[in-house]
Amino acid sequence: MTERTAGDFPISPTTDWGRDLDILDPRYVADPFGVWRELRDGCPVAFSERRGRAWMPVNYDDISTVA
């Protein structure tokens, strides 16, 4: 079994924040508030395979429920 490293994950630009959230994407770095606003408006839970797998609830009520 081999361990996956950051180099194993794609680094192409994000095209769908809800299915491919990447906090290192230049557009996220430039305007994270805009990205989160877009997610809250259209996606209750974001997902990403980048840098490992992650599911991320994007609104307060959902975050409180899973916390």
Listed by start position, the domains of the chain span 14-66
pLDDT in tens, 1-54: 566 555 555 567 777 878 888 888 889 899 999 998 988 888 888 888 877 888
Cα dist. 22→16, 17, 56, 58, 67 in Å? 10, 8, 11, 14, 22
pLDDT of residue 5: 58
pLDDT in tens, 51-61: 788 888 988 89
